[in-house]
Amino acid sequence: MPRWSRYFEVLKLFWSTALAAELEYRANFVLASISSSGNLLGSIFGLFLFYQKGNTFQGWTWEEAFLVLGVFTLLEGFSNTFLGPNLNKIVQHVQQGTLDFVLLKPISSQFWLSTRTLSPWGLPDLLFGLGMIGYAGGRLGLGVGDYLAGLVPLSFGLAILYSLWFILGATSIWFVKIYNVTEVLRGLLEAGRYPMAAYPAAYRFFFTFVVPVAFLTTVPAEVFLGRSQLLLLLEAGGLAGGLLLFAHRFWSFALRYYTSASS
Amino acid sequence: MKDFWRKATTLLRVQYAYMVEYRAELLLWALSGSLPLILLGVWTQAAQRGQLGLSSLDFARYFLSVFIVRQLTVIWVVWEFEQQVVQGKLSPRLLLPIDPVWEHVASHVAERLARLPFIVGLAALFFVLYPGAFWIPSLGKFLLFLLVVASTFVLRFLMQYTFALFSFWTERASAIEEVWMIPYLFLSGLIAPLEVFPPLVREIALWLPFPYLVHFPASILVGLPVDVGRGLLVMLGWGGVFLVLNRWLWKKGLKQYSGMGA
């Protein structure tokens, strides 16, 4: 059996068991839906506050800014479903020494740590995000081609987000108790709610070159709208590829410093 | 009385020592509250273009104050209490001749003392980056701010501790707090000063506890006009409601807890 198909089988097993386990807590789904809807209403209210009395973000109409918010919500759903439940546990594995067991398994430990589980409670956010993109896209008259084109930078954005999160999680090999680093990252990512044009120049620099939030929501939204700059798209692709590679290297580097709980 | 002070200072000293042990973590927690600083960017930019009633300088000061208020009033008692109940760690604490709530109060207060240098440092950094926004509130305003922010701390603690008591009946009391955080996030003045809210939303919000947890103390520090008397009364009212509910749940909960065989 080729390697990738074995990974695929494992993934199917991981996710079906995770789902089965989570579905024991069905009341949680009600709560998750309430929080997601509340958050959605609040986000829209927040954006509305900027657009009262004829104000706009420079060069972004209400529908266009709404599209950015939709992409942001989608990313949030993605991180609540896939990234958070897995990557926040790296810290725990290091702290309790259970990382040993992961390392002994005959598959890539990065793969195991990144995909072991998933939480269906992020699903409402994913759906709301798609709904918002669909709504704004409908008002703006986007076609199938635009959506397909937008998928490219969107997947770059996902890859960037995953890599940053994983790299931060991996630093727990040295710092052990750094649960909050991912919280800092989450806090900074909030900036992705609004198009980069909404920020002063210094912020734009910071959110493009230091913490690449711009590539997560603004760039995909621009491609959806058909006003992409090829250069920016190439940068996003380069950054995504580079960060993925770096995350992988960084993990093997970090493992050299890992001394298990017993040794 | 002497006994009370001895207990209080001992509790505080222990908790302070514990907090200072995790200095790096404290800094990270402080940084994770960066949302006001992000919003500061958007709003100062927006104020330069539109007529929002507040200048971009007002916004800068407002959001710095929000940042400070949030740092001073972070509460996490529900997560700790929930753990204690679920893992049965509450039982030995019930045997002590002191209500277990004081340990939580002490740890929150001690953490504030340990966090203070970071807050001052971050505020100083802010003024270095943004010297135009520097201001010194009058002594009267500053003292009033201290009083109000202390009340905010008490009110938030009281509310969250009340939710925490639901741990006696449900395994996930923190979920209640998480749902409660949503109106807090959007109505407290954290995402925007209440001055830019539509009048109707603002009126409704002012009867709820949320604006007094962020907007009220922050506005006093900046010097934006607020109705101080009304604000304190609303805070007192909600505080009373939660205090009564809290004591009632505590009594009921203890019975429930021992009923579980602990």
Q: Chain A residues with CB inside 8 Å of B178's CB?
A: 31, 35
Find, among A129, A73, A38, the residue nearest to B179 by Cα.
A38
**Each residue of A26-66: pLDDT tens digit?**
777 787 788 888 989 999 998 998 888 777 788 888 888 99
Secondary structure of B60-89 in HEC code, one letter for each residue: HHHHHHHHHHHHHCCCCHHHHHHHHHHCCC
d(CA A73, CA A120): 15
d(CA A223, CA A240): 16
- A176–B contact, CB cutoff 8 A: no
Per-residue confidence (pLDDT) for residue B219, from 0 to 100: 93
The tokens for A1 are: 């059996």
CA-based diameter of chain B, in Å?
A: 64
Per-residue confidence (pLDDT) for residue B184, from 0 to 100: 92
Residue-by-residue DSSP string for A174-201: HHS--HHHHHHHHHHHGGGGS-GGGS-H
Choose the mutation target among A22, A45, A125 for the interface with B, i.e. most B CBs under 10 Å. A45
Per-residue confidence (pLDDT) for residue B247, from 0 to 100: 93
Structure letter (DSSP) for residue A171: T
Mark the ranges of chain B whose per-residue pLDDT is less than 70. 1, 22, 258-262
Per-residue confidence (pLDDT) for residue B259, from 0 to 100: 56
- A262–B contact, CB cutoff 8 A: no
Q: Say whether pLDDT at A81 is over 80.
A: yes
Per-residue confidence (pLDDT) for residue A178, from 0 to 100: 64
Alpha carbon of A204: minimum distance to chain B alpha carbons (Å): 10
- A59–B contact, CB cutoff 8 A: no
Per-residue confidence (pLDDT) for residue B242, from 0 to 100: 95
Judged by CB atoms within 8 Å, which residues 110-169 of A form the interface with B? none
pTM across the whole model: 0.86
Q: Say whether pLDDT at A25 is over 80.
A: no
Residue of A nearest to B180 (CA): A35
Interface predicted TM-score (ipTM) of this complex, two decimals:
0.81
Option in B24, B191, B198 nearest A46 (CB): B191
CB contact under 8 A, B182 and A39: yes
Q: Say whether pLDDT at A98 is over 70.
A: yes
- B191–A contact, CB cutoff 8 A: yes
**Each residue of A187-225: pLDDT tens digit?**
888 888 999 888 888 888 888 888 888 899 888 888 888
CB contact under 8 A, A187 and B52: no
The tokens for B161 are: 């501790």
Mean pLDDT of A87-100: 80
Alpha carbon of A189: minimum distance to chain B alpha carbons (Å): 9
Residue A261 pLDDT level (bands cut at 50, 70, 90): low
Per-residue confidence (pLDDT) for residue A232, from 0 to 100: 84
d(CA B36, CA A10): 42
**Each residue of B207-231: pLDDT tens digit?**
999 999 999 999 999 988 888 899 9
- B178–A contact, CB cutoff 8 A: yes
The tokens for A113 are: 């740590």
d(CA B20, CA B16): 6
**Each residue of A138-195: pLDDT tens digit?**
888 888 888 888 888 899 999 999 999 888 888 887 776 666 777 888 888 888 899 9
CB contact under 8 A, B38 and A190: yes
Residue A260 pLDDT level (bands cut at 50, 70, 90): low
- B210–A contact, CB cutoff 8 A: no
Option in A42, A187, A191 nearest B182 (CB): A42
Residue of B nearest to A194 (CA): B42
The tokens for B255 are: 């019975």
- B84–A contact, CB cutoff 8 A: no
Per-residue confidence (pLDDT) for residue B31, from 0 to 100: 76
- Computed over every residue of chain A, the mean pLDDT equals 85
d(CA B90, CA B173): 15
- B37–A contact, CB cutoff 8 A: no
The tokens for A8 are: 């695929």
Per-residue confidence (pLDDT) for residue A2, from 0 to 100: 62
CB contact under 8 A, A55 and B31: no
Option in B41, B197, B198 nearest A200 (CB): B41
